[in-house]
Chain A
Amino acid sequence: MSKLHQMIERNSLVMVLMITIVASIGGIIEIAPLFTIENTIEKVEGMRPYTPLELAGRDIYVREGCYACHSQMIRTLKTDVDRYGHYSLAAESMYDHPFQWGSKRTGPDLARVGLKYSDDWHVAHMKEPRRFVEGSIMPGYAFLADNDLDLDRAPLSLKALRMAGDPYTDKMIAEAKQDILRQADPELEGEDDLEERYGEKVQIRDFDGQPKRVTEMDAIVAYLQMLGTLIDPKQVSDKIRAEEAAKSKALKGESQ
């Protein structure tokens, strides 16, 4: 061994080559299959890309770094499921660039927080967490209600996400700004258009209690309220399990 190694340690280029090879193996074996094996993410009914308003909310979630305190990944453990609901499926984060599963639960998991509280509760809680929840250590985000949402970003964002593989259509991109207004202002025409593009479950209303304006608070509450509401995870995982059972039965049948 040491003869061989002496050769390596006398030649820096050989060493560089060896390190590169040895260090690449792990990543290639673990990551490459995720991109090729089809069933990493099961196809699931109901999953759709974010609406421009929700996406803006998600961008704010990322910008504020909420992931430093909140996870969005309910593990398959019983205690997680009992507290937060059905465990998270891969499909549920398939449009998340980047993922926001988080690594620390200083606050509770948010993967299924959608529709758990009213909009008013969220707005008031975001502004002043300790008014409702005594002992909360969450920072206050009152400034979100003062900031008007920057609409110009929306089409750019959708375009970039399309390049990353999300199924946004030309129409969606062209209408992005208008779609934000449509979703946050129920008075505006065109709800049907919005639903046609993003499905029936799009929540259309004024979220932040300031009907005249579209603020960053509208966006973040719209995002929070849709988290975990798109699919029925139980139905989906039952279906996956049934399919798997059928498959393994079939395999057994073949081998006999």
Chain B
Amino acid sequence: MRISSGKIEGYILILMTLPLMVLGGALAFYGKEGALVFHGGLIALVTSYAIISIFRKMSEPAQNIPLEYNDGVIRAAVIMTGIWGFIGFFVGSVIAWQLAFPDLNIDLPWTNFARVRPVHTTSVIFGFGANALIATSFYIVQRTSRARLAGRFTPWMVLWGWNLFVILGVSGYPFGITQGREYAEPEWYADLIALFVWVAYLWVFLATLSRRAERHIYVANWYFLAFLIAFAMLHTFNNLAIPISLEYAKSYSLFSGVKDAMTQWWYGHNAVGFFLTASFVGMLYYFLPKAAGRPIYSYRLGIIGFWGLVFLYMWVGSHHLHYTALPDWVQVLGMSMSVILLIPSWAVVFNGFFTLNGAWHKLRVDPALRFMALAVCFYAISTLEGVFMAMKPVNALSHYTDWTIGHVHAGALGWVAFITFGSMYKLVPWVWHREGTYSKRLEAWHFWLALSGVLIYVGAMWNSGITQSLMWQTYNPDGQFAFAFIDTVDAMHPYYIARAFGGTLYLIGFCLGAYNLWLTIHPRTPIQMPDQQELKPLPTVNLNKATVKSPMSVKATETPTGPAE
């Protein structure tokens, strides 16, 4: 039986999207809050647009699948990464200045720090981070499998569906729509969309793997798989909630108190572990060897690192709840597992460094590779730091203070964002078929601004965190506290200014980077070397199982396609 491409896929997608459309319509119709009506309308609009365009595409005469990689969706994801990156870093800088100068809150409901802060965390993690992951994972899985991305519509549904989720989140917080749980703030209807998208994402990934022309699944893909599976579990279980009605966005978490806290931090730490770590390690395992021109150093370290990470991360959420009402044994277990977690974490670090070994000279001329090398350094630092903070005595000092914020941003700015920048400088020329980026000098400027930004940010937060904690704990000889709470707030002021300054440098660096890539994509002068691929008539093959053997794929697979043994 021969079916024209994408019919089954299209119908399944439409069937899955229809309920969401109905839901959106219902929210828009019954909603009593302005923001909820807007959300409902937006959902209904986007889903109906999706359904209509799938129908239209399906009714076109059946086409053969082009024998090339599907890079269109990657290009769109790269653009979204840039947009969310700007929003996230900009809002991060705004809230940093708000903490330094509270009058900047303006005391309007939608401008004050606490409503804006989740806009920052959601934009950077789920906007910037996730779009970068969609772009790189789609790139990597195609190249390392030497197969075209599965699905005609699904990859696009994944991209736009996910961005719809992020928009629903970010546009809701300023109007008070939030679940009130860190990193899981979007309300139930947005969570449903995210779940739908995630299942689709997992399908695309597995289906692409299943048509691979390589026998082995490349190590980067293991990490992406773990990220996809783990986040599906975490997201579903942690967001179990009971909506109060269709008139209001509000829902109540199904769990309460201690159970809710443990579920939330099981989720929260693994948002860190799988969203900000495992998946970005996947990125590292492709782009670092490719940029350095050397194969991954050790296959064995890869295996140990991978399974260790997948196993251990899920245990350590309770180190966010030391000395609380959570039963003691869970705290101690979380602490112990956190210490062991250093082994798989540093397995990745060693693999990264030894892969670079022999390519150190390239660091001088290639800022992108420098970003990646520094990313490995910051990964090493923040995991080591995390292990210390997970120990109860240290946590007694660090918990509730800016030290945590310093740790977060050593990881976020230094590791997550650096590896992303490095990879983007490689990925953009590849998927837009350019010889290189517009300007290496701008890349270098970006690097130095970003590095100064992180160092200032993290340095300031270490100082302020430890200062504040010590001030909280200082007694006078008569047994009274030496400092009132507000004294400790005053003491933070200079550090908050420094942090905001560091963050602003980082933002400026990012803008230079974005400008550089924009000019790479849209050069001022017409491109000298026309892209050879597009000049040739595209060879085509018969439908579904299109395995790519185009000149591009040869070029793309110069890299190690399997771990070196």
A contacts, CB < 8 Å to B: 1-2, 5-6, 9-10, 12-13, 15-16, 19-20, 22-27, 29-31, 34-35, 37, 40-41, 59, 62-69, 71, 73, 75-77, 79-80, 82-83, 87-108, 129-130, 133-143, 152-153, 156-157, 159-161, 163-166
Contact status A135-B310, CB under 8 Å: no
4 closest cross-chain pairs (CB), A and B: A26-B314, A65-B114, A75-B323, A26-B315
Contact status A164-B180, CB under 8 Å: no
Check B263 for interface membership: any CB of A closer than 8 A: yes
Which one of B9-17, B126-134, B326-334 is at the A interface?
A: B326-334
Name the residue among A75, A108, A134 with the largest chain B CB count within 10 angstroms: A75
Which one of B57-65, B71-79, B223-231 is at the A interface?
A: B223-231
Check B370 for interface membership: any CB of A closer than 8 A: no
Compute how far the CA of A157 lies from the CA of B253 in the bound complex, rounded to whole angstroms. Answer: 12
Contact status A101-B261, CB under 8 Å: yes
Question: What A residues does B258 contact at CB under 8 A?
Answer: 34, 40-41, 90, 93-94, 99
Question: What A residues does B118 contact at CB under 8 A?
Answer: 65, 68
Q: Mark B156-200, 1 if CB is under 8 A from A, else 0.
A: 000000000000000001001111111000000000000000000
A164/B256 contact (C-beta < 8 A), A64-B114, A73-B324, A137-B99 known: yes
Contact status B254-A164, CB under 8 Å: yes
Check B312 for interface membership: any CB of A closer than 8 A: yes
B contacts, CB < 8 Å to A: 32, 98-99, 102, 105, 107-109, 112-115, 117-118, 173, 176-182, 206, 209-210, 215-217, 222, 225-226, 229-230, 233, 237, 242-245, 247-248, 250-264, 266, 299-300, 303, 307, 310-318, 320-327, 330, 333-334, 337, 396, 399-401, 404-405, 472-473, 481, 485-486, 489-490, 493, 565
Contact status A75-B324, CB under 8 Å: yes
Residue of B nearest to A93 (CB): B257
Question: What A residues does B178 contact at CB under 8 A?
Answer: 62-63, 65
A99/B107 contact (C-beta < 8 A), A2-B300, A26-B312, A135-B489 known: no
A82/B481 contact (C-beta < 8 A), A97-B253, A160-B252 known: yes
Question: What A residues does B216 contact at CB under 8 A?
Answer: 6, 9-10
Contact status B472-A83, CB under 8 Å: yes
Residue of A nearest to B216 (CB): A9
Question: What B residues does A24 contact at CB under 8 A?
Answer: 233, 314
A77/B396 contact (C-beta < 8 A), A9-B216, A105-B401 known: yes
Q: Among B115, B177, B256, point to the contact of A99 (Cβ < 8 A).
A: B256
Contact status A34-B259, CB under 8 Å: yes
Compute how far the CA of A185 lies from the CA of B98 in the bound complex, rounded to whole angstroms. Answer: 37
Q: List 16 A-B contacts (CB under 8 A).
A: A10-B217, A13-B206, A23-B233, A30-B318, A35-B259, A77-B396, A82-B481, A94-B256, A96-B260, A98-B256, A104-B401, A106-B99, A140-B107, A156-B244, A160-B252, A166-B256
Contact status A137-B489, CB under 8 Å: yes
Compute how far the CA of A88 lies from the CA of B178 in the bound complex, rounded to whole angstroms. Answer: 25
Question: What B residues does A129 contact at CB under 8 A?
Answer: 102
Compute how far the CA of A140 lies from the CA of B111 in the bound complex, rounded to whole angstroms. Answer: 11
Compute how far the CA of A105 lies from the CA of B398 in the bound complex, rounded to whole angstroms. Answer: 11
Residue of A nearest to B563 (CB): A9
Known: A71-B400, A90-B326. 9 other contacts (CB 8 A): A9-B216, A63-B177, A65-B178, A92-B257, A93-B258, A97-B256, A98-B264, A99-B264, A137-B489
Shortest beta-carbon distance from A123 to chain B in Å: 15
Residue of B nearest to A143 (CB): B109
Contact status A95-B257, CB under 8 Å: yes
Compute how far the CA of A62 lies from the CA of B179 in the bound complex, rounded to whole angstroms. Answer: 7
Contact status B113-A160, CB under 8 Å: no
Question: What B residues does A77 contact at CB under 8 A?
Answer: 323, 396
Contact status B260-A130, CB under 8 Å: no
Question: What B residues does A10 contact at CB under 8 A?
Answer: 215-217
